[in-house]
Chain A
């Protein structure tokens, strides 16, 4: 069998596969809901209602989308240059750790200095964590997928050590959690009284900045060229190694910001369950967005809606909330296939 490019795909050819991918995902979810003894229409309805049905639900969805926008951008930036960063989870925690180190009383600074400082430190921490695997890739040709994945396990153990040792809250009744951030280190809420913090706005700004970098700067062009064909890029005089390292810094920095935003905006302290896998879910977000930074915002909202909705559905209908994770993983696989089928067809030879 072989793939054959379609010379001029019709409108239907370009629209149908992604639509079918979404339908297939819904079908898989419905079947699994039935296996668990739920009525599929009721289950899907409850997911929508749980995600958008009230002001509280909507704000919860926006809050949950915030870290996913950051990690989704981190992955999108890296994957666009074919730097396979699967370590956003660890980079997020690195950002969170630095936020806690600086934000719990080490520095007596006012909020307008302390907040930016924490954010920048979080970015640097995330960036440094990805620089290692990126250097191993460019210097020694070590595959970054495995190194970034293994770093996730190493760094989570490191966080666990910090929370039981140096960063442990002395007033925490023995729980492995950090002290709370000073009020000066907390991101305020966008509207007083509503549970949505400025991290969401920061995430939207980050998406815009990445969009500008991608479309309006030399670096954006170089990252894309390296991703499309590193050999050709090198031949055209693009410093491939330096572009990969810059991509790593940018990607790791974005993931670090996710950690800053979660600690400073939402939680106020660090525990080892700060992220329920935002780093991995960011991969789904980035792929659903076709690696486009503004698409990442939409995809993160979609993914967050499914998570928030499935949580409330699970309480009401008794169908396990892991249904959300299944929907996202199958959406990812169906979608990459669908995108291919808009341009190619499979022929028997």
Chain B
């Protein structure tokens, strides 16, 4: 198959949007945390926990959207743990984040073994099915790619628009951004930096968990241990790539996902017969590093990112 054929096929772009969806949720979550000044390295573990929590809730009988809600709540609880340690106590965000990833991952695996002690392969659920949006789905190329996805994908795009709206058009968004840029100014306005940052981490962590749940409730229909596989770390790179802006971050996620979809298809072509498959699997990680390197020159990092705020101190 020719490269051009791949790039012009609707199924390729449909796959790209599907692969991008969990990244969009989790990247938005990380972006909200970082915009408020907190680097959340718990993202990988929170995605694992969200993937499991959403799936097990649906397996136990909840409707699919109930599973999404359970995942969201799980993520928010983990976010609460992160925010208590990293905001009022001001502990190292690196250590707290890595610790939370280890905790969330091991708690998830433990719960899996307790709930399903004897199973060799995890049970399947009925996942979200694609929903064709009337009229729009009939458009050439764009229709099948963008408007024949599952409802959870549409929710991801709506969430991105909402996040941008709240961040840039509301007093709440202004307070969140200011907490990440100049927390003293926020405190001088009589607002609580602690509350704003904790809220941002809790909500952001909820989004990350929904990103994880996308894997079990929409992309696949079951839970596997290695499912998240570094996607959380890739989302951290995507936040930098998107220059901490929701719109650019979503575009970055789609670009990244298109590349991922491309490498899967290239494996089946003549190149795939010569080049070892591991090289293709490495490409997304290299691409993330490359994105970090390119964007590092002009990245607009929130000025108070990773700087704990202690009122009355400067």
| Interface 9-mer from B246-254, B265-273, B289-297 | B289-297
Question: Does A150 lie within 8 Å of B276, measured CB to CB?
Answer: no
Q: Give the complex CA separation of A18 and B296 in angstroms.
A: 39
Question: Does B237 lie within 8 Å of A328, measured CB to CB?
Answer: no
Query: A134 within 8 Å of B by Cβ?
Result: no
**Could you say which residues of chain A place their CB within 8 Å of the CB of B292?**
136, 142-143, 146-147
Question: Does A326 lie within 8 Å of B103, measured CB to CB?
Answer: yes
**Could you say which residues of chain B place their CB within 8 Å of the CB of A287?**
95, 99
Interface 1/0s, chain B 270-310, versus A by CB < 8 A? 00000010110110011011001100110000000000001
Question: Does B96 lie within 8 Å of A322, measured CB to CB?
Answer: no
Question: Does B102 lie within 8 Å of A329, measured CB to CB?
Answer: yes
Question: Does A329 lie within 8 Å of B312, measured CB to CB?
Answer: no
Closest to A344 in B: B89
Q: Give the complex CA separation of A313 and B289 in angstroms.
A: 41
Q: Give the complex CA separation of A150 and B91 in angstroms.
A: 24
Q: Give the complex CA separation of A318 and B311 in angstroms.
A: 49
* CB contact list, A142-195 vs B, under 8 A: 142-143, 145-147, 149-154, 157-158, 160-161, 164-165
Q: Give the complex CA separation of A337 and B87 in angstroms.
A: 12
* CB contact list, B114-150 vs A, under 8 A: 114, 117
Interface 1/0s, chain A 280-311, versus B by CB < 8 A? 10011001000000000000000000000000
- Most central of B92, B110, B286 by chain A CB within 10 Å: B110
* CB contact list, B177-203 vs A, under 8 A: 194
Q: Give the complex CA separation of A349 and B311 in angstroms.
A: 9
Query: A236 within 8 Å of B by Cβ?
Result: no
**Could you say which residues of chain A place their CB within 8 Å of the CB of B107?**
326
Nearest Cβ in chain A — how far from B47, in angstroms? 14
* CB contact list, B88-112 vs A, under 8 A: 88-92, 94-96, 98-100, 102-103, 105-107, 109-110
Question: Does B230 lie within 8 Å of A150, measured CB to CB?
Answer: yes
- Our pick among B95, B278, B286, B296 for the contact of A332 (Cβ within 8 Å) is B95
Q: Give the complex CA separation of A261 and B133 in angstroms.
A: 59
Query: A128 within 8 Å of B by Cβ?
Result: no
- Our pick among A145, A157, A284, A325 for the contact of B109 (Cβ within 8 Å) is A325
Query: A86 within 8 Å of B by Cβ?
Result: yes
Query: A36 within 8 Å of B by Cβ?
Result: yes
Nearest Cβ in chain B — how far from A99, in angstroms? 21
Question: Does B114 lie within 8 Å of A36, measured CB to CB?
Answer: yes
Question: Total number of A-B contacts with CB less than 8 angstroms?
Answer: 134
**Could you say which residues of chain A place their CB within 8 Å of the CB of B233?**
146, 149-150, 153
**Could you say which residues of chain A place their CB within 8 Å of the CB of B90?**
3
**Could you say which residues of chain B place their CB within 8 Å of the CB of A237?**
none
Question: Does A1 lie within 8 Å of B293, measured CB to CB?
Answer: no
Query: A212 within 8 Å of B by Cβ?
Result: no
Question: Does A153 lie within 8 Å of B88, measured CB to CB?
Answer: no
Closest to B308 in A: A3
Question: Does A165 lie within 8 Å of B276, measured CB to CB?
Answer: yes
- Our pick among A146, A160, A340 for the contact of B288 (Cβ within 8 Å) is A146
**Could you say which residues of chain B place their CB within 8 Å of the CB of A143?**
240, 292
Query: A336 within 8 Å of B by Cβ?
Result: yes
Question: Does A157 lie within 8 Å of B114, measured CB to CB?
Answer: no
Nearest Cβ in chain A — how far from B2, in angstroms? 27
Nearest Cβ in chain B — how far from A292, in angstroms? 16
* CB contact list, A251-275 vs B, under 8 A: none
Closest to B91 in A: A336
Query: B48 within 8 Å of A by Cβ?
Result: no
Nearest Cβ in chain A — how far from B31, in angstroms? 14
Nearest Cβ in chain A — how far from B98, in angstroms? 6
- With A145-B94, A161-B278 known to touch, is A330 a contact of B103 (CB < 8 Å)? yes
Closest to B276 in A: A161
A residues within 8 Å of B by Cβ? 1-3, 32, 35-36, 84, 86, 136, 140-143, 145-147, 149-154, 157-158, 160-161, 164-165, 280, 283-284, 287, 318, 320, 322-323, 325-326, 328-330, 332-333, 336-337, 340, 346, 349
24 contacts between A and B (CB under 8 A): A1-B194, A2-B312, A3-B89, A3-B90, A36-B110, A136-B289, A136-B292, A142-B296, A145-B94, A150-B233, A150-B289, A153-B230, A153-B233, A154-B282, A154-B285, A154-B286, A160-B278, A329-B100, A330-B103, A333-B85, A336-B95, A336-B96, A337-B85, A337-B89
Query: Apart from A35-B114, A142-B292, A336-B85, what are 10 other A-B pairs with CB-CB below 8 Å?
Result: A2-B312, A2-B313, A32-B110, A146-B240, A147-B292, A149-B230, A157-B282, A284-B99, A287-B99, A349-B311
